[in-house]
A = this chain, B = another copy of it.
Amino acid sequence: MINLQAPYLLFLGDAKDQLAAKTAQGIKDWRPEKCVGQLRLWDCKATLGLQDMTLQEAWDKGARTLVIGVATRGGKISAEWHDCIMEALDIGYHVASGLHARLTQIADVSKKAADKGLDLFDVRHADGTFECGSGEKRSGKRVLAVGTDCSVGKMYATLAMECAMLARGMKATFRATGQTGIFIAGSGVSVDAVVSDFISGAVEQIAPANDPDHWDLIEGQGSLFHPSFAGVSMGLLHGAQADALIMCHEPTRKTMRGVDYPLPSIEDCMDLNLRCARLTNPNAKFIGLAVNTSALSEAEATTYLQELSDQFGLPAVDPVRTGVDALVDALASC
């Protein structure tokens, strides 16, 4: 399991547009208190609105991990980046990367980190050792976000719930299962990178037994109806032993992400998730829906959410438009 040392200096490199810095943006949006500043190369086209700093300036202000939160052209690490990473290690930074290419496989970077006793984190990869899932009931309560597809707002919904629950004085912890979530939480496991024998076991490990009134908010991945990734979603569902499930959806999407498959109906998706979830938690139930309505007008969104709520007899929210208070209220019934 990855554990990052905050605070961070966010490295944007030569991001070619704002979207390329999406991971860094997520960290800044959800954990501004962990972000000391940003470091941009001369041709960077993105900004997070944070103060631009050199490695040394950020170090002097307390930054301890350099976070590479940017997608690159072709996944390469340019010479300019390489020099910056090496200098960061010289100063004493740990370095964390969300790139496909591994820091640990760059010989001189790997050697310098080892020599200086510093950590390199390739958060897209899961190098830890996990046990097979036991399926044994554990204490504490858990929410899992599931979806009709990939990228329908599962991370956003659970982060928003954590925020709202902490504001109410509830015990709540977001548990990251993907790279952006790991940067935000500072720890977690990229479950789609875990060897498949250990998917449910890895989830049991990142969301372990806890106080009876503590809620883990587990980031979901993929969909049971996605022909590429349903195995990940299934293992995640079993490992989570969720008491409360949130159904996430994007109503204007026509096909599953990356494949030519139609989206399942919300009804089918809830039914199959519930059936499978009850293997490891017979009391699992849906407590609400979280919908990304950004492609709808305000009036359309309001109507759509009301219709969903009527159809399923559950609160239906858009975490961005309406907030997630109705979902947090619904947890009281679990």
Contact = CB atoms under 8 A, between A and B. Distances in A.
Interface in A184-206: 191-197, 199-201
A199 B235 CA distance: 12
A136 B255 CA distance: 14
Nearest to A203: B231
Contacts of A132: 228-229, 258
A234 B199 CA distance: 12
A134 B197 contact: no
Given A196-B196, A196-B231, A261-B279, 18 more contacts: A132-B228, A133-B228, A134-B227, A135-B260, A135-B261, A136-B259, A195-B195, A197-B229, A201-B228, A224-B276, A227-B238, A227-B279, A227-B280, A230-B238, A231-B231, A231-B234, A231-B238, A232-B235
Nearest to A225: B279
7 contacts: A132-B229, A133-B227, A134-B227, A134-B259, A196-B232, A231-B236, A232-B235
Contact of A196 (B192, B260, B275, B279): B192
Interface in A103-150: 132-136
Contacts of A229: 132-133, 197, 200
Interface of A: 132-136, 191-197, 199-201, 224-225, 227-236, 238, 258-261, 272, 275-276, 279-280
A275 B228 CA distance: 16
Contacts of A232: 196-197, 199, 231, 235
Contact of A199 (B133, B196, B224, B276): B196
Contacts of A261: 135, 279
Contacts of A279: 225, 227, 230, 261
